[in-house]
């Protein structure tokens, strides 16, 4: 009887620890990228007006994580594939490495 109690408890503890130490999700990365693009677009809009801002508008369709390795505590280096459309380049899929750090407010780009 004791063994049947310990197995579910061990499984639950393992799942909780795995959830606590996980890296960013695809939606976390997409939200971060969209936020950075919006900041850059707003800054360019202040300098060059709406036309300049519209030229830099990028729509992110999807983000796919190929791998995400913890480099140090709460800092992850992720290999991601980004499907996006920009007015100057059209729609394309690019693969890139991005380093992210977990902060109190969510995920931020790290160096």
pLDDT in tens, 98-109: 999 999 999 999
Q: Is 68 contained in some domain?
A: yes
pLDDT given for residue 21 in this prediction: 52
Q: Is 16 contained in some domain?
A: no
CB 56 within 8 A of CB 80: no
pLDDT given for residue 12 in this prediction: 46
Q: Is 8 contained in some domain?
A: no
pLDDT given for residue 15 in this prediction: 44
Q: Which residues contact 15 (CB under 8 A, 6 or more apart)?
A: none
pLDDT given for residue 57 in this prediction: 81
Task: Give 10's pLDDT tier (boundaries 50, 70, 90).
Answer: very low
Phi, psi of 67 (to 5 degrees): -160, 155
For the whole prediction, is pTM greater than 0.85? no
Structural domain of residue 66, as residue ranges?
23-109
Task: Residue 78: give its domain's CATH number.
Answer: 3.10.450
Q: Which residues contact 84 (CB under 8 A, 6 or more apart)?
A: 58, 59, 60, 61, 91, 92, 93, 94
pLDDT given for residue 19 in this prediction: 43
With 50 as the cut, is the pLDDT of residue 110 above it? Answer: yes
List, for residues 28-73, the tens digit of each pLDDT value: 999 999 999 888 888 877 777 777 667 778 899 999 999 999 999 9
DSSP the chain: -HHHHHHHHHHHHHHHHHHHT----HHHHHHHHHHHHHHHHHHHHHHHHHHHHHHT--EEEEEEEEEEEEEETTEEEEEEEEEEEETTTEEEEEEEEEEEEEETTEEEE--
Q: Is 76 contained in some domain?
A: yes
């Amino acid at each position: 009887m004791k063994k049947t109690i310990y197995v579910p408890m061990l499984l639950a503890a393992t799942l909780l620890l795995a959830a606590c130490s996980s890296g960013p999700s695809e939606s976390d990365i997409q939200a971060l990228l969209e936020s950075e693009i919006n900041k850059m677009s707003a800054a360019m809009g202040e300098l060059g007006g709406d036309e300049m801002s519209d030229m830099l508008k990028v729509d992110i369709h999807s983000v796919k994580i190929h791998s995400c390795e913890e480099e140090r505590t709460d800092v992850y280096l992720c290999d991601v594939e980004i499907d996006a459309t920009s007015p100057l380049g059209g729609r394309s899929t690019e693969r890139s490495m991005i380093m992210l750090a977990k902060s109190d407010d969510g995920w931020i780009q790290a160096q």
